[in-house]
Structure 1
């Protein structure tokens, strides 16, 4: 697949930005680094806005370099979100940025803030669960710590939320503390993505997980062909995961009701298409 034009390489500029953010020692990250970067890199916004407007049948096509560049944006986003998380399991930096400044930077890049008031694992990353008195009580949003970001119909970053739920819906122990997959870094919980363990160059060829929503229809991890929707079949059990475990991991990106039956689940090959009940 073709690479971006030689005069501007968003992948390289985003890699540099990631390292600059990680090394930042000043007191005002937004005005000291992020806002000037936006001014110099208008082509990044143009590319992202063009990507957001792309259409497909129904999934828009994406070139390989674009999926890698989206991952690079996601890495920067993960670093910035650390400023809104308690450092309970990780020493990733608590960056000097306010929520308004974070939103200004991400919307400046072309992302759209989406305010969804009813809990949905498509839009919401659970940070903390308060247990309801009834075991089967539905999940209710208590507070939103950071917002959900979309790029057209593609999910870019789920909102960080605190919820109240019956334990049969979300385990108060697991939902906010189990390993979060498809995530580069979190300060409040363990996480993992396919860049972990690779060299300084190879890790940047990690693919961004693309999820799309069109009305009530959702397409999760669309660049992978191992469809959880096909159900259990002989030999159809990657990493020894059950159908229920596979489904839970793809939808929530972590275990929320059960512990893994396999110590090393590998959910990255899985995709899922489903319709959310209204």
Structure 2
């Protein structure tokens, strides 16, 4: 199949035009969507990224941008309260709940039961399933958690800016498409979080390994003054969950950071950090 990198963009835009009837609209597009997703199979496994990253001549970059457009469909269906499971399962994604233990890699906190008697974070309810595309985390499962305030602050975790997400009304969100024009925004890359035999890899395309202390900053990247513990919290949860919100919490840039872990616990265990060198 021809890559047709704009297919999922058209699917998203057409879905908005059929607001209120997502199931009926998507039912007739499952076969085509499955074929287009199958064409993105090279993204199912984490690869060694070339020095300097991908350029516009690399087909892998176009696959990554095409998958970003499908993630917009997922964001819309969460926000609309629509059941996504059947559509995404039938086109080739694998649903999961990971309900046995809270993991910020696998779970997006949507609601919090504040419990001063709790000693750790537990999953109270899975509100929507997450999905895998091979080893690639397409989307996290949405959960309600029970937690003490010193680990998860309900107000912070549910109202702070959610990064790596285009939309999640009513909370503010941020991804790299925001602020760009109607065409340029679709050249946004899908942020790749992988789980494989080497560990959990957060934002694999990031150029700054924040597992290092201090992180090594490439010469072409501006200095990051945010404390390392805040950067790790933000990348792990994709939002702040307990930090007293800094004034610039809505204006952070976690997209250059990456982190590899053996397990995703909260609080994060420094011993879980895995060093994954990348080409210079």
Q: Please confirm whether the aligned pair reaches a TM-score higher than 0.5, indicating the same fold.
A: yes
Counterpart selection for 1:107 from 75, 89, 97? 89
Question: Counterparts of 2:31 and 2:97 in 1: how far apart (Å)?
Answer: 27
What is residue 30 of structure 1 aligned with on the other side? 23
What is residue 77 of structure 1 aligned with on the other side? 74
Shift of 1:115: 2.5
Shift of 1:269: 0.7
What is residue 271 of structure 2 aligned with on the other side? none
Please give the TM-score of this superposition, normalised by the length of structure 1.
0.82
Question: Counterparts of 1:161 and 1:238 in 2: how far apart (Å)?
Answer: 35
1:254 paired with 2:239, answer yes
Q: Is the 8 A contact 1:169 1:257 kept in 2?
A: yes
Cα-Cα RMSD: 2.6
Q: 1:150 to 1:166 in 2, by over 3 A?
A: same
1:20 paired with 2:7, answer no
Question: Counterparts of 1:234 and 1:159 in 2: how far apart (Å)?
Answer: 32
Question: Counterparts of 2:164 and 2:256 in 1: how far apart (Å)?
Answer: 11
Shift of 1:225: 1.5
Q: 1:175 to 1:277 in 2, by over 3 A?
A: closer
Q: Deviations over 1:128-161 (max 9, x none)?
A: 1111123x62111111110010111111100111
Task: Give the unaligned 5+ runs of structure 2.
Answer: 266-280
What is residue 107 of structure 2 aligned with on the other side? 124
Q: Is the 8 A contact 2:113 2:145 kept in 1?
A: yes
What is residue 266 of structure 1 aligned with on the other side? 253
**Equivalent residues in 2 for 1:1-80 (5 A)?**
5=2, 9=4, 11-25=5-19, 28-31=21-24, 33-48=25-40, 50-51=41-42, 54=45, 56=47, 63-80=60-77
What secondary structure, in the 3-state scheme, does the structure 2 residue paired with 1:240 have? coil
Q: Is the 8 A contact 2:156 2:245 kept in 1?
A: no
Question: Counterparts of 1:253 and 1:268 in 2: how far apart (Å)?
Answer: 10
